[in-house]
Amino acid sequence: MKAVFNDNILAESNDIVYVDGNPYFPREAMYDQYFRDSRHTTVCGWKGKARYWDLIADDQIITNVAWSYETPKPDAEAIRYRVAFYSGKGIIIS
């Protein structure tokens, strides 16, 4: 599976975990050169606190395009150190 933005491969892996309909890639499958840390965080009642990344590609910056639960609650342990992408921000998952 790949996460792509304008022909730029952002992440790719065959090791995908689905949670709430979102494919989560292993964190190490993410190509760091396209990302910078975001200050944005959210909290999910059953998954825990999410951190976010902004995408920097093709002279564009798209905020909060990827997220991860690095210290998830016990019921979400399967997505520890995994990353998901917002398809609504131009990311194509295939």
Map out the domains of the chain as residue ranges.
Answer: 2-93
Most distant pair of Cα atoms in the chain: their distance: 39
Residue 40: both structure tokens together: 């944005």
Residue 32's pLDDT is: 97
Q: Taking CA 89 as the corner, what is the angle to CA 29 and CA 73, rounded to the nearest 5 degrees?
A: 55
Q: What is the pTM of this model?
A: 0.94
With beta carbons less than 8 A apart as the criterion, state whether 16 and 26 touch: no
Residue 87's pLDDT is: 87
Q: List per-residue pLDDT tens for the chain, 94 residues long.
A: 999 999 999 999 999 999 999 999 999 999 999 999 999 999 999 999 999 999 999 999 999 999 999 999 999 999 999 999 998 899 999 9
Which class is 2-93 in CATH? mainly beta
Residue 9's pLDDT is: 98
Q: In what order do the strands lie in the sheet with 48-57?
A: 17-19, 22-26, 82-85, 60-68, 48-57, 35-44
